[in-house]
Amino acid sequence: MCSSDLELVRIERVGDDAWASVWSGENLLSSTRVGAWRDDAVLEAIDVNGDGKADVVRRWAEGPEEHAQVWLSDGRAFDEGWAGVTGNTCVAQAEVAKR
Ligand SMILES: [Ca+2]
């Protein structure tokens, strides 16, 4: 459930860079450069490591390659957590077993 004092993560273009700013109401808590701006990037604010703080995931394609960048939040600023090529490589096959 979301609380009413939820932080807002806003991704903005500043020049050729993307910046993630964290707001609490009218107060700017932090602003972090999260790489070069990409018009084709999909941005998601999800908690990827389960610490209750929203992290930023950017995904985009370069030819056949799917790139992803993960920025982990400590609730104030973002640290680059992981970046690399993902998808299009079958590393496992998931199967739902039916009873
Ligand atoms: Ca998190």
Q: Provide the pLDDT confidence category of residue 77 given band limits of 50, 70 and 90.
A: confident
Collapsing DSSP to helix, strand or coil, 40 comes out as coil
Q: Tell me, in angstroms, the distance from the centre of ligand 1 to residue 99's CA.
A: 35
CA distance 21 to 31: 4
Over residues 7-16, the mean pLDDT reads: 88
Residue 1 confidence (pLDDT) above 70: no
Domain boundaries, the chain: 2-97
pLDDT band, residue 14 (cuts 50/70/90): very high
The stretch 60-71 carries a mean pLDDT of 89
**Is the predicted pLDDT of residue 78 greater than 60, yes or no?**
yes
Cross-strand pairs, 62: 65
What's domain 2-97's architecture?
Beta Barrel (2.40)
Q: For residues 7 and 54, is the Cβ–Cβ distance under 8 A?
A: yes
Angle CA 64–37–70, to nearest 5: 70
The pLDDT assigned to 45 comes to 84
Percentage with pLDDT > 70 across the chain: 86
| Distance of alpha carbon 9 from the chain centroid | 10
**Protein residues within 5 Å, CB atom, of ion ligand 1:** 47, 49, 51, 53, 55
